[in-house]
Amino acid sequence: MSRLAKRVAIVTGGARSIGAAIADALANAGATVIVGDLHPSEQHESLPLDVSDEASVEACIQSVVHAHGRLDIVVNNAGIMFEAPVQDQDRSSWDRMIAINLTGPMLMSKHAASHLSTNGSGSIVNIGSLEGDSANPHHSAYASTKAGVHGLTRAIAVDLGPRGVRCNAIAPGWIDTPLNASYVDAHPDRDAVIAELAKLHPVGRVGDPADVADVAVWLASDESRFVTGQVITVDGGRTSRPPLPGMLS
């Protein structure tokens, strides 16, 4: 409970899935957690937040600082994903993805910067993806935004480092979220899909939201005080093992 005692954290998109797990983990480590989301949190104090709207971002941060007197941690988790081959990608959907997944973390960091604690406890944690360095089919928009988040993370670390504020990102692999579960459930042989997914990971399983949340707590804590500008891969070793054809693996 003492790791993040007296610290105040905002988690965007924290009402569900990975964001909710991060909010819970921060609170369990002692932080006061405020969820910024279009949907209210059932577990934590929450504020309405549209990360693509600068006025909404500024109002959310000002409300937190006014109510709690400080701000120490920002977790930029809010994001969306859709699929479209690049040749069919429409501009409006592309712009929406950029606005939420990439512009959102920039706006949150911009407006939080002057409020974040400068005594070493100020930390921004962005949620990137393995697709920041690779891409699945029909994910040109999503992969582009996550590559941008990784670059933004390094740039923020450089800009805010002199103020005593750190910025890092987490790149999750396959995590058992409702979105990923929908892909599995749509397959005629769900059990076979789960077994094949597990084989992709040297640890023998897919990830759980708590696996990401624990790393977020570490990055927000003093235990990572000399870590900034980094993208931490949380993928059960998936990207460490080159793929082989099924008949050889």
pLDDT surpasses 80 at 234? yes
The stretch 57-80 carries a mean pLDDT of 98
Decide: helix, strand or coil at residue 32: strand
- Overall average pLDDT of the 60-69 stretch: 98
Q: How large is the angle between the packed helices 17-28 and 209-220, nearest 10 degrees? A: 50
pLDDT at 245 over 90: no
pLDDT per position as a tens digit, 23-34: 999 999 999 999
Which residue shows structure tokens 């235990």?
223
Domains and their CATH numbers in the chain? 8-175+209-237 (3.40.50.720)
Would you put residue 229 in left (φ > 0), alpha (ψ -120 to 50) or beta?
left
**pLDDT higher than 70, residue 247:** no
How do residues 153-167 score in pLDDT, each as one tens digit? 999 999 999 999 999
Tokens standing for residue 207:
């990830």
Q: Could you tell me the pLDDT band of residue 212, with boundaries at 50, 70 and 90?
A: very high
Measured from the Cβ of residue 244, the count of other Cβ atoms closer than 10 Å reads 8
HSE toward the beta carbon, residue 221, CA cutoff 13 A = 19
Question: Helix (H, G, I), strand (E, B), or coil: what is residue 127?
Answer: strand
What gap in Å lies between CA 238 and CA 12, rounded to an integer? Answer: 27
Q: Which of 19, 37, 142, 157 is catalytic?
A: 142
What is the spatial distance between Cα 204 and Cα 218, in angstroms, rounded to a whole number? 24
Q: What is the mean pLDDT of the segment spanning 61-70? A: 98
Whole-model pTM: value is: 0.93
Helix, strand or coil, per DSSP, at residue 163: helix
Least confident of 63-72, 132-141, 180-189: 180-189
Alpha-carbon dihedral sign for residues 98, 99, 103, 105: negative
Instruction: Determine if residue 17 is left, alpha or beta; phi over 0 gives left, psi from -120 to 50 gives alpha, anything else beta.
Output: left
183: annotated active-site residue? no
